[in-house]
Structure 1
Amino acid sequence: MLKTFDLVLIGVMTATAAVTYTIKHRAELKLEEVHRLEAEIKLEKDTIDLLKADWALQSQPNRLERLVKAYDDELQLQPTESTALVHAKELPMLKSEVPVPDVTEAKASAKGATVAGAKGATAKAQPIPVPAPHAGAEDDADADEIETGSVE
């Protein structure tokens, strides 16, 4: 009986040693992979820094001015007039992309709404005018659709 028990214990110890070794081996492989990835990340960061420095050199105003003068005949560039520039809020965009209004504008409009609401609390809501359909719209399938424009 004792010999059987000893053999079972030796088998369990051997299996435990094998499992421990495989876990250790996998951990070492993962550690090597982590070191390899860290080296790749460092290389990419160094490359980004190098590209940023190169961009800074390439986009220097003095250099660009020299290039514009050298290739003026081929490029035929002209200065941009200040009237040609627009603000971002003036560009047409999707309703979901409309910038959030300033807090000061929201407070001012809220005060005006509160004052108007207090004065005209018993007044009925005004209906929103809908444009009249064009001539012959009864025949159109799109007669019920309303055209919308951008909201300012």
Structure 2
Amino acid sequence: MLRTFDFVLIGVMTAAAAVTYTIKHRAELKLEEVHRLEAEIKLEKDTIELLKADWALQSQPNRLERLVNTYNDELKLQPTDSTALVHARELPMLKAEVPVPDVTEAKADQKHATGAVASAAKPAAGAKVAAKVTPKPVPRVEEPEDDTDQIATGSVE
């Protein structure tokens, strides 16, 4: 004699088993992904260590000196003079970085200078007064590419 309540409990147990199995399967997939990612991380770390060791071998001073002596005729390298080294903050600005002068300020200064003369000659009662026009800045003319940003650096004391 199975009642309806027994069928409901069997259904709930079956659903709970299915949900548990699904969660377990997803957890196993995530664990496999974690192991795969850990293997990739280990491979990348090993590659970085190998590249550091290779760089240490390639940049050994005695090896570089031997290469300079071997290829000196082709390269024509010269030692750097200690007075030729400067910090970036000591270099002048590039021509491309020089700020554009504000034309409106220059014209405003001229108007203030000539304003005393203009105020003495006020318009008549019926005359029209011109609206105040703000001048637009003149576009900057680009220089030829040949000598753009050619700077000379001096020595550092």
Distance of 1:53 and 1:40 partners within structure 2: 20
One-letter amino acid of the structure 1 residue matched with residue 74 of structure 2: E
Task: Please give the per-residue CA displacement for 1:6-55, whole angstroms capped at 9, x wherever unaligned.
Answer: 01110011001100100000001000100110010001000000000000
Unaligned runs of 5+ in 1: 94-131, 144-152
Distance of 1:91 and 1:31 partners within structure 2: 56
The 3-state SS of whatever aligns with 2:4 is helix
Q: Say if 1:10 and 1:91 are closer, same or farther in 2 by CA, change over 3 A.
A: farther
Task: Please give the per-residue CA displacement for 1:66-97, whole angstroms capped at 9, x wherever unaligned.
Answer: 0011011111111111121112332467xxxx
Match of 1:7 in 2: 7
Match of 1:20 in 2: 20
Question: Which TM-score applies when normalising by structure 1?
Answer: 0.60
Distance of 2:49 and 2:90 partners within structure 1: 36
Match of 1:81 in 2: 81
Q: How many residues align?
A: 103
Match of 1:55 in 2: 55
* 2:137 aligned residue (132, 142, 145): 142
One-letter amino acid of the structure 2 residue matched with residue 38 of structure 1: E
Deviates more, 1:24-33 or 1:77-86: 77-86
Query: Percent identity among equivalent residues?
Result: 81
Unaligned runs of 5+ in 2: 94-104, 112-134, 139-157
Match of 2:38 in 1: 38
Pairing 1:55-134 to 2, within 5 Å after superposition = 55-91=55-91, 133=106
Question: Which TM-score applies when normalising by structure 2?
Answer: 0.58
Moved over 4 A (4+): none
One-letter amino acid of the structure 2 residue matched with residue 46 of structure 1: D
**TM-align CA RMSD:** 2.9
